[in-house]
Amino acid sequence: EGLPKGLINWKKAPCRFCGVGCGLLIGLSDGKAVAVKGDPKSTVNKGLCCVKGYHSVMAMYGKDRLTRPLIRENGKLVETSMEKALDLVAGKMQEVINTHGKDAVSMYGSGQWTIPDGYVASKFMKGAIGTNNLEANARLCMASAVTGFISSFGLDEPMGCYEDIDHADVFVLWGNNMAEMHPVLFSRLLDQRLKRPDVKIIDLATRTTRTSVAADRSILFKPQGDLAIANAICYELVENNWIDKGFIEKHCSFKEGKTNIGYGLEDKFKFSDKAGTITFEDFKTFLQDYRPDKVEAVSGVSARDIKYLASLFGDPNKKVTSFWCMGANQHTRGTWINNLIYNIHLMVGKISTPGNSPFSLTGQPSACGTVREVGTLTHKLPHGVVANEKDRKMAAEIWKVPVERIPYKPSYHTVEMFRALDRGDIRFMWIQVTNPMVTMPKLNRYRDAVQKDDRFIVVSDIYPTPTTDIADVILPSAMWVEREGMFGNSERRTQHFEQMLDAPGEAMSDTWQIIEVARRMGFNELFPWSKEDHIEEIWKEYARFHEGKKHGMAPYEALKQAPGLQWPFVEGKETKWRFHAKYDPACEGNSFDFYGKPDRKAWIWARPYEAPPEIPDTEFPFWLNTGRVLEHWHTGSMTRRISVLHQAMPRSYVEINPEDAKSMGIKNGDQVRLVSRRGKIELPASVHERGQPTKGQVFVPFFDESLLINDLTLDAFCPISKQPDYKKCAVKLEKVNVI
Ligand code: SF4
């Protein structure tokens, strides 16, 4: 209504925001995006969108959009030309390399990078400069899903697809507020329940949310209790003989890992996660500590509820799909809880067939495509790892660089990279499409690090943020459909979008910014592409990394035509379920072929319950949990510029359990102070509103840059994935007396 009908030209693009990757149609008129609707041809969303998707194009038109580069002179940011800014970035990077060595420069990107952005970043840092100092913010959101997948199956990325929703009878959500974080996908669950009333949605969480309200059963557990619950479910499956012995014997082996491996709180830490083979009998012995009644205290869940959960997985007539996201991944034992969810599915043989998928969802639009597949993490290469000589040789051959240039040892993961900046081991950091001065845990420590005098920080973004505030150079970026690119969503679906609009002012795509800087540093031959065809050429070069491999990807021409295509793309066809001969054309022989592991079996891990590093005590008696809200995308740097979303959710708040609030005389809307050992903030109380934490817990969303909750969080992480835990630390709560 009110739109210039007939003048609108509709073009396809994946949504800019979450990892669901809804297909959109962008309405263009007179050089502007004026409308957006769900693409009915997209198998992801079938024409639907959530509130962020429907307003996504407005994110390009905020009043304070960065359109000109800024450089810091005498402490003040002043406008300059793009040419001069790029010269400065290249010159400074070279100067730091000359003075301190190539490992003193770093790049920090994002799961919101397009696939070409990530690819050129990897080629630039690892192939051209020769350092592994490349990380992405996906380390903060899905690294544990990667290590969980690799330790259980030897390969990364989910084995199922969204079509599982159409086949599953039971959905178990592990710490996953899907109604708000993956809303269109959640609507598909609700839709199935309407069509098939026997379908059950079980919400396992530490607080009630819109997801729990819509679920058939909401089971609340104590923070970190998920480790005990998952093992107790396995105990019940064995005890009741609900396991699939034939599947286990043929397709699984049992492993134990090291326990007591720390939380990475010290700067230098060592850990080991070597797998030792154990027998099924050993595994059964391990499970004896997890009899449901024995874990009630530590998990906060009754034995009756645990037995109920086990009965759902154990019912031979039910197909079960598990979904999880940050609740499981942002966890000091994130890899372990991923392993334990896989254990349950493997024990009952409900895996990698339609409706039976343990499915880790990603938060960002291309956390899979750019970070996991291209490999924009310190230890990774496109479809490989730096530690593997064959992978390094392949990268060197495709990139036409000497193999010795690509270091075989990973360097710093995200938290360590900022610690290295603090110490002075890193002097230069280029941050693109992410906002670490809002998202880093124990933020005040890292804010101090980046502001040290001889650190040089470059930030590419589309709006001012707390991260651009600390930059020495700000490069304005072209956003989303102002440039061509691809995103890869949670179900291994690569989605292409063309450039539909001109970027404002001198804004430039992140891909092209990197190419310009690389050329200024003398790497012209490695980045020979023209502005017109560079995305196509980059995709073709990238495709060489998976030529002839089981995870082959769709060609550029096919991606341009289709709303999105899933890999493995074999002989012109997508693969929906991996590892099963019936569904995976790449699976050889066996009914199942877990070809990522040397024994071609999936590994069932004995992973114990361990407490997190900081637990509430008399001084700091509450658990602090942090997360997202439906209306805002991550730190809100884009969605707060969309007036309707900003008005719907203008400010952060702290959710308090009504009993706790009552005992402290706190009413809804009262101003309260939250204090941890690391920092404090004051914000309004939310009691009886959208979400409700269990007694003794509080929850704060992180979208509000004026209320930085990460000043309070702890920088402990899973020592295997190096992903920090934003869900558990100790705080105290005080009522603020307003005069
Ligand atoms: Fe975009 Fe995610 Fe909403 Fe879909 S569910 S419209 S991908 S934000």
Q: Is 391 helix (H, G, I), strand (E, B) or coil?
A: helix
To the query of whether residue 52 is one of the catalytic residues in this protein, the response is yes
Same domain flag for 159 and 287: yes
d(CA 629, CA 439): 15
Q: How far is the CA of 182 from the centre of ligand 1 (A)?
A: 7
pLDDT tier for residue 270 given thresholds of 50, 70 and 90 = low
d(CA 374, CA 19): 16
* Sequence-ordered list of residues with C-beta below 8 angstroms from that of 327, at least 6 positions apart, any chain: 174, 175, 176, 177, 205, 206, 226, 727
d(CA 646, CA 562): 34
Element (H, E) at 252: strand 252-256
Q: How far is the CA of 629 from the centre of ligand 1 (A)?
A: 13
Q: Is 491 one of the annotated binding-site residues?
A: no
3-state secondary structure 426-443: CCEEEEECCCHHHHCCCH
d(CA 399, CA 405): 11
Q: Is 469 helix (H, G, I), strand (E, B) or coil?
A: helix
Domain contains 588: no
pLDDT for res 161 = 96
For residue 479, the domain's CATH number is: 3.40.50.740
Cβ–Cβ < 8 Å for 256, 276: yes
pLDDT tier for residue 195 given thresholds of 50, 70 and 90 = very high
pLDDT over threshold 80, residue 394: yes
Least confident of 59-63, 165-169, 366-370, 713-717: 366-370
Which residue lies with its CA nearest to atom 1 of ligand 1? Answer: 53
To the query of whether residue 141 is one of the catalytic residues in this protein, the response is yes
Same domain flag for 244 and 163: yes
Same domain flag for 711 and 690: yes
Same domain flag for 75 and 159: no
d(CA 449, CA 460): 19
Q: Helices 414-423 and 443-450 sit at what angle, rounded to 10 degrees?
A: 50
DSSP letter string, 121-155: HHIIIIIII----EEEGGGGTTHHHHHHHHHHHSS
Q: Which of 553, 576, 606 is the last residue of a domain?
A: 606
Element (H, E) at 399: helix 389-399
Q: How far is the CA of 131 from the CAs of 98, 239, 315, 411, in angstroms? A: 14, 51, 51, 8
Domain contains 370: no
* Sequence-ordered list of residues with C-beta below 8 angstroms from that of 48, at least 6 positions apart, any chain: 22, 38, 184, 187
Cβ–Cβ < 8 Å for 19, 564: no
Q: How far is the CA of 38 from the CAs of 27, 41, 46, in angstroms? A: 11, 9, 7
CA 338, 265, 637, 460 dihedral sign is negative
Given the residues 224, 364, 495, 566, select the one marked as catalytic: 364
pLDDT over threshold 80, residue 568: yes
* Sequence-ordered list of residues with C-beta below 8 angstroms from that of 557, at least 6 positions apart, any chain: none
pLDDT over threshold 70, residue 269: no
For residue 42, the domain's CATH number is: 3.30.200.210
Least confident of 266-270, 298-302, 426-430, 438-442: 266-270
To the query of whether residue 234 is one of the catalytic residues in this protein, the response is no
φ/ψ of residue 17, rounded to 5: -95, -100
Mean pLDDT for 187-198 is 97
Same domain flag for 242 and 209: yes
Mean pLDDT for 518-534 is 97
Domain region containing 520: 70-108+116-127+382-528
Closest CA to 604 of 105, 152, 139: 152
Residue whose token pair is 């995200």: 414
Q: What residue ranges in 302-451 does DSSP mark as E strands?
A: 320-324, 358-360, 380-381, 384-385, 428-432
pLDDT over threshold 80, residue 261: no
pLDDT over threshold 60, residue 2: no
Same domain flag for 292 and 404: no
Same domain flag for 55 and 179: no
The atom number, within ligand 1, closest to the CA of 18 reads 2
Q: Helices 226-239 and 303-314 sit at what angle, rounded to 10 degrees?
A: 60
Given the residues 326, 500, 508, 729, select the one marked as catalytic: 326
Domain contains 422: yes
pLDDT in tens, 3-26: 555 668 999 999 999 999 999 999
* Sequence-ordered list of residues with C-beta below 8 angstroms from that of 110, at least 6 positions apart, any chain: 136, 137, 138, 364, 370, 371, 432, 433, 434
Q: List the end-to-end C-alpha distance of the chain, in Å, as a whole number.
A: 48
d(CA 601, CA 591): 12
pLDDT over threshold 80, residue 169: yes
Q: Is 161 one of the annotated binding-site residues?
A: no
d(CA 544, CA 395): 9
Q: Which of 579, 606, 633 is the last residue of a domain?
A: 606
d(CA 133, CA 428): 10
Helices (H) and strands (E) in the chain, counts: 25, 33
Same domain flag for 328 and 190: yes
Six token digits for residue 67: 């359109």
To the query of whether residue 19 is one of the catalytic residues in this protein, the response is no
What one-character DSSP code corresponds to residue 196? S
φ/ψ of residue 99, rounded to 5: -85, -45
Closest CA to 332 of 711, 696, 715: 715
Task: Verify whether ligand 1 is closer than 6 Å to residue 21 (CB atom).
Answer: yes
To the query of whether residue 662 is one of the catalytic residues in this protein, the response is no
Closest CA to 129 of 98, 84, 108: 98
Report how many domains make up the chain: 4
Task: Verify whether ligand 1 is closer than 6 Å to residue 183 (CB atom).
Answer: yes
φ/ψ of residue 186, rounded to 5: -65, -35
Peptide bond just before 354 cis, omega within 30 deg: no
Same domain flag for 194 and 226: yes
Same domain flag for 57 and 120: no
Q: Is 252 one of the annotated binding-site residues?
A: no
For residue 643, the domain's CATH number is: 2.40.40.20
Phi/psi-derived region of residue 726, left when phi > 0, alpha when psi is between -120 and 50, beta in every other case: alpha
The one-letter amino acid at 583: Y
Mean pLDDT for 577-589 is 83
d(CA 470, CA 484): 29
Residue whose token pair is 């002012």: 505
pLDDT in tens, 220-253: 999 999 999 999 999 999 999 999 999 999 999 9
For residue 357, the domain's CATH number is: 3.40.228.10
pLDDT for res 546 = 87
d(CA 458, CA 454): 13
Task: Quickly list H helices, 330-378.
Answer: 334-347
Share of the chain above pLDDT 90, in %: 87
Q: Is 316 helix (H, G, I), strand (E, B) or coil?
A: coil
Task: Quickly list H helices, 141-225.
Answer: 143-153, 164-167, 178-181, 183-195, 210-214
Six token digits for residue 220: 């609340």
d(CA 369, CA 491): 10
Domain contains 560: no
Domain contains 180: yes
- The rounded Cα 183 to chain-centroid distance in angstroms is 16
Mean pLDDT of the chain: 94
Domain contains 367: no
Domain contains 648: yes
Which residue lies with its CA nearest to atom 2 of ligand 1? Answer: 18
* CA–CA–CA angle 369, 372, 376 (5° rounding): 100
Same domain flag for 217 and 343: yes
Which residue lies with its CA nearest to atom 4 of ligand 1? Answer: 22
Beta partners for residue 627, in sequence order: 701
pLDDT for res 6 = 61
Cβ–Cβ < 8 Å for 67, 508: no
Q: Is 631 one of the annotated binding-site residues?
A: yes
d(CA 54, CA 644): 11
The atom number, within ligand 1, closest to the CA of 38 reads 6
pTM score of the predicted model:
0.95
d(CA 132, CA 377): 8
Cβ–Cβ < 8 Å for 719, 730: no
Cβ–Cβ < 8 Å for 188, 162: yes
Task: Quickly list H helices, 252-381.
Answer: 280-287, 296-299, 303-314, 326-329, 334-347
Mean pLDDT for 169-177 is 96
Q: Is 323 helix (H, G, I), strand (E, B) or coil?
A: strand
Q: Which of 479, 508, 528 is the last residue of a domain?
A: 528
pLDDT tier for residue 348 given thresholds of 50, 70 and 90 = very high
Which ipTM did the prediction report? 1.00
Q: Is 609 helix (H, G, I), strand (E, B) or coil?
A: coil
Domain contains 641: yes
d(CA 543, CA 383): 10
Same domain flag for 316 and 398: no
Task: Verify whether ligand 1 is closer than 6 Å to residue 730 (CB atom).
Answer: no
